[in-house]
Structure formats: structure tokens, C-alpha cells
Structure 1
Amino acid sequence: MSSTTSNSCWKSVRRNFRNGLNNIYHKFPKLPKTLPREDSLPLQIGSYITVRDYNTFLDENESVGYKFRWDRGNVYIIEMAIPEHAVAVSYLMDCFKEPNNRVKLGPINVLGQPFHYNPTRTGEKYAPDLAVCGSINHISEPIIPHPGPPPSDVKGNPHARIICEVVNAQNITDLNTKCEDWMHEGYVRCVLGIKLFPKTTIGRTVHQAMVARLWMRQASGGSVLSGNATLAVAGVHVTEWDFGTIQYNNDTPTPTGCNTLNLNAFQINIPITDAFYDPPIVWGVLTPYAVFLPGTVVGVNFVIDLFELQQAVIIKK
């Protein structure tokens, strides 16, 4: 037996031994053997799981195509990778990269699913669909990794300033909860939540209801949301856009009016300065300061045209 083969065998033995010990001293969720149906979600895959073991499970299964939730020891699959979700996230990523002016390594970082900790301090890892922040050249690097200050992601990088969450299987209440959790972190300036409802065919035309909700620390455009969301943080404004081809909360299929590009009523504008929000912390309190916007940034706002997003999503079968 060659030395290379021998080393490979010993590595396999050690790995199996380590996995055996993990199974004895730790309890991890178990992934389904077959792909579950989307209408079966949320699907429970574990119980009596500690936060520590849940976080370890996430580290080992971050590329399996599922999104998970830990809730007081219970673990659920809450979303699966489907084309509509992927195209929505891709479109939003392009919108947030645009002010970099086609520079591959620009002052704005747009990351897909970087792990952060739940800002409500329950300890489990959260992976937003998109996290936007100024680059390390323009944002102060955390001196102390999580919990800081200033706050960081799980790797000790600056905490996201803008968050995007896109949901398919989860309902509006789930979306509200996740987005409002993020707003507990003072460095998060806004959270954009997108809910995609199932497609339906009326006549020979495929329709789909879609809702966008924006949590901001300042008033924004759109329709002011009232009664449907419990604001987790004082001073947060929530606005809503019903932007699918049909309204989401109407028993009778009714057009939303989102039917062409560049409609002011269906554009979301988020100040680019939000990505560079970096106030000093004095005795645990964020102090006022003037946001610096790098000279290479193009534009004033991140602009999301909801008609474009609608069309990108609905053409996916």
C-alpha cells in the first residue's frame, strides 16, 4: 500500500471516528432523504437542538439548497432553492451593485447569505439572502468580533447595513418577523422583504402576486403599512408595494397597476449613504455623524424597479 493511500485511509478513519463522537455528544438535525414538496414547508427536521449544535449544522450544510430556522430547540426547513427565488435575489444584487459603476471591486460590497448572529440575541446564526455594506476601505473594521462594538458578522467583518430577504414558502408573518429581527441591530439602516406568492393561470395568462415591504429608519415612498406588521423598533417606518400582476389580498383577480417601467409608484429608492453608515459608539450609544460617500460611487439612491423584478420572476416556470 502506498504512503498516499495509507494517509487517505487514516484520514477517513479519523473523520469517521470524529463524526461518531459528534453523534454521541451532540444532536444535529437530519436532512430529508428526498426533496420535500414546497407545500410541505415548514418541515421539522430536528428537536431539542441546542443553538451551538444548530450553528455547527449550518456550517456543514450551508450549500444544500435549503434555508433553516431554529425555534426554541426545534429546527425547520423553511425555504428551498427554486428559480423564482434565485432570479429575484440576482436582480436585487445587480441593483445594489450598480452604483459601483461596473467596477468589479468597488466601494459597495453585496454578499449572498453571509452568516450573522440573530440581533435579538438568541444566539443562532442568520443568513440573509443579501447583505449590503461599504467595503473595509470605507467602513471601520470591528476591533472586537461579534458582539463588538462595532457589530460584525460571524467572521468578524463589518455588519451588514442593508438586508434583503426573499420568501416563497414562508408567509407574510414569517417575513415580518425576520425583517423586524434585523432592525434590532442599530447599524442596520433598512431591510427589504419580498414575498412571492404561487403562480396562477387566468385564461391563458400566468399571473403572480408579489409584495415588497421596506423597513427603514426614515419615511419612504410606497403605501404606508398599518395593521399588518408589529414594529419591533421604535422609529422604524414600514412601507408596502403590491407589485405583482394581480393583487395579493383580493379574492377577485385585480391588476396592481405595476405594468411598465419607471413608474414612480413602483420604484424603491434606498439612499446609498445607508451602506456607509458607520457612527462611533460612545458608552454603548450610537453618536451622530456625517456619512461619507466615496467619490467613485455613481448616483444617490439604490433604485429597484418593481416592474423589472416582477417580469424577471414571472417568466421563470
Structure 2
Amino acid sequence: MSSTSLNSGWKSTRRNFRKRFNNIYHKFPKLPETLPREDSLPLQIGSYITVKGYNTFLDENEKVGYKFCWNRGNVYIAEMANPEYEAVVSYLDDCFKEPNNRVKLGPIVVLGQPYHYNPNGAGEKYAPDLAVRGSIDHVSEPIIPHPGPPPSDVKGNPHARIVCEVANAQNITSLDTRCEDWMYEEYVRCVLGIKLFPKTTITIMGRTAVHQAMVARLWMRQASRGSVLSRNTTLAVAGVHVTEWDFGTIQYNNNTPTPTGCNALNLNAFQINIPITDAFHDPPIVGGVPTPYAVFLPGTVVGVNFVIDLFELQQAVIRTK
């Protein structure tokens, strides 16, 4: 047997022993023995769990395919990876990498679920579905890991500047809360939340087809084009603008199956434009305080905005079974 195989086997044995030890001597959440149904989510798997215990639990279970949530000692499975969820994440990943102009190691870094700490101060680890930032060649690498300054993720890498959260099983209120939590961190320039509702087969104008409601909400520190939310929203901080797009094949808040109008590419009303400069937000720190400055794009970046065409996103989801 090779030394590589021996090392791999030893690491696996040690990891399994640590899990058993933690479960015996610490109060940890318990994962279900069988895969839960999506309609059973959120599924509570622990209570009276400390933040420290929750964070350790995440370290042991970060690759199990669940999205967890900690709320005042209670732990839930909030989301499971499924094809529709993955279709959204994959499409957004492509949109944010596009300005790198096909360079595999470009100035824009797009990461899937890197752990940060919840910016609202509760202390639990938070993993966004996508985190976008400039590379360490273009943004300051924190000298002091979290909380900095400048802020970092849990591993000491530069903090995300743009965050994406995708909700399939989660309700839209939970999605709003999670997105607004990110805006407590000034280095997060905007948060994009996507909510998918269940598919349904209905007849519209004599045609029977599979339809699905979908909503996009964008939290920005500057105004964005779109339909401004009509509901009252409690924002994380003053000066944050919330914009909504109802972009599914049917409207999400209508009792009758009414089309949204998102039915073709390149419709201005259904395009989200996020300034690429947001990914490179890196103000100098003077006396522990970020100071105003001008952001410049690296010369190899193509374009001015990250462009997310919601019709393309809609079709990526509706075609996924």
C-alpha cells in the first residue's frame, strides 16, 4: 500500500474518531439518518446548541450537501442541494466570472460557500451560496484575521464584497433576513437573493405547461434599476436600497396564473446590473476606519457591470427537473 493511501486512511480514521468523540462528549446537532423531503424543511436537528458548538459542527459537516441555520440555540437544515438550486448557483457563477474574459485565474474571485462570520454579531459561521471579491493582487489581504480590519472570512482571506443567496425550501422571509444580515458588514456592497417557488402545471390562454414563480431581490448601497419593493422592509443599515424582480413564468404573489413579462433575452426590465467595481471595494484604513477613495478596475477586466439576465436564469431553472 502506498504512503498516500496510508495517510488518507489515517486521516479518515482520525476524522471519524473525532466525530464520535464530539457527539459523545459535546451536545451537537444530529443529522437525519435518511435524506429528508424538501417539504419537511426547515428541519430542526438540534436545540440548546452554543455558537461554539454549532461552528464546530459545521467544521465536521461542511460537505454533506445541507445548508444549516442557527437561531438562538436551535439548529435547522434550511436547504438541500437539488438540481434547480445548482442551476441558479451555476448560472450566477458564470455571470460573475464573465468579466475575467475567459482567464481561469483572473482578478475576480468567485467562491462557493466560503465560511464567514455572521455580520450581525451573533458569531455563528455563515456560508453564502456565492461570494465574489477581487483577488489578493487587487484587494488588501487582512493582516489580522477576523474581525480585522480589514474584515476577512474565517480563514483570513479577504471578505466577500458581493454575496448571493439562493432559497428553494427556505421561505422568502428567511431569505430576506439572511440577505439583510450580510449588509451589516460595510465591505459587502450588495447582496443578491433568489427565491424559487415550486413548479406547477397550469393552463394559460389554452396552453398547458409547467410554470414556476421566481423572485430576485437586490440589496445595494446605491439605487438600482428595477421594481422597488412595495412592502415595508427593515434594512440592516441606512442607505441600503432594495429592488425586486418578479421574473418567473408566473407572478409569485398573484392568486391567478398571470405571466410576469419576463419572456425574452435582453429585456431592460429583467436585467440586473451590478457594478464590477463593487468586487474591488478596498478603502484604505486610517485609524481603524475605512476612508473614502476612488475604485479603479484592473485593466484585464472586460465590461463595467456584472449582467444577470433574468430570462436566462428563469430558463435555466424551468428546464431543470
**Normalised TM-score (structure 1):** 0.94
Match of 2:152 in 1: 152
The residue identity in structure 1 corresponding to 2:139 is I
Match of 2:56 in 1: 56
Where does structure 2 lack aligned partners over 5 or more consecutive residues?
Answer: none
Deviation for aligned residue 1:60: 1.3
1:1-317 superposed matches below 5 A:
18-203=18-203, 204-317=208-321
Residues of 2 paired with 1:71 and 1:63: CA distance? Answer: 21
Residues of 2 paired with 1:24 and 1:104: CA distance? Answer: 44
The residue identity in structure 2 corresponding to 1:209 is A
- Helix, strand or coil at the partner of 1:254: coil
Residues of 1 paired with 2:18 and 2:278: CA distance? Answer: 45
Deviation for aligned residue 1:183: 0.2
Say whether the 8 Å CA contact 2:19–2:60 is kept in structure 1: no
Say whether the 8 Å CA contact 1:176–1:229 is kept in structure 2: no
Residues of 1 paired with 2:234 and 2:42: CA distance? Answer: 22
Residues of 2 paired with 1:253 and 1:87: CA distance? Answer: 24
Alignment CA distance shift 1:76-1:103 (3 Å): same
Deviation for aligned residue 1:84: 0.4
Say whether the 8 Å CA contact 2:128–2:164 is kept in structure 1: yes
Alignment CA distance shift 1:176-1:8 (3 Å): closer
Alignment CA distance shift 1:227-1:156 (3 Å): same
Report which stretch shifted further, 7-16 or 296-305: 7-16
Deviation for aligned residue 1:229: 2.5
- Helix, strand or coil at the partner of 1:198: strand
Residues of 2 paired with 1:311 and 1:177: CA distance? Answer: 27
The residue identity in structure 2 corresponding to 1:189 is R
1:127-171 CA-to-partner distances (Å, cap 9, x unmatched) read 000000000000000010001110000000000000000101111
CA RMSD of aligned residues (A): 2.1
Report which stretch shifted further, 164-173 or 21-30: 21-30
Say whether the 8 Å CA contact 2:69–2:78 is kept in structure 1: yes
Residues of 2 paired with 1:287 and 1:7: CA distance? Answer: 48
1:108-135 CA-to-partner distances (Å, cap 9, x unmatched) read 0000000000001111000000000000
Alignment CA distance shift 1:78-1:228 (3 Å): farther
Alignment CA distance shift 1:304-1:280 (3 Å): same
Alignment CA distance shift 1:13-1:265 (3 Å): closer
Where does structure 1 lack aligned partners over 5 or more consecutive residues?
Answer: none
Alignment CA distance shift 1:7-1:297 (3 Å): closer
Deviation for aligned residue 1:14: 6.6
Alignment CA distance shift 1:21-1:293 (3 Å): same
Alignment CA distance shift 1:21-1:222 (3 Å): same
Alignment CA distance shift 1:15-1:141 (3 Å): closer
- Helix, strand or coil at the partner of 1:29: coil
The residue identity in structure 1 corresponding to 2:102 is R
- Helix, strand or coil at the partner of 2:245: strand
Report which stretch shifted further, 17-26 or 181-190: 17-26
Residues of 2 paired with 1:177 and 1:312: CA distance? Answer: 26
Residues of 1 paired with 2:224 and 2:109: CA distance? Answer: 23
Say whether the 8 Å CA contact 1:113–1:129 is kept in structure 2: yes
- Helix, strand or coil at the partner of 2:145: coil
1:194-224 CA-to-partner distances (Å, cap 9, x unmatched) read 0000001013300000000000000000011
Alignment CA distance shift 1:283-1:43 (3 Å): same
The residue identity in structure 1 corresponding to 2:183 is M
1:75-100 CA-to-partner distances (Å, cap 9, x unmatched) read 00010111000000000000000000
Residues of 2 paired with 1:290 and 1:8: CA distance? Answer: 48
- Helix, strand or coil at the partner of 2:163: strand
The residue identity in structure 2 corresponding to 1:111 is L
Alignment CA distance shift 1:141-1:14 (3 Å): closer
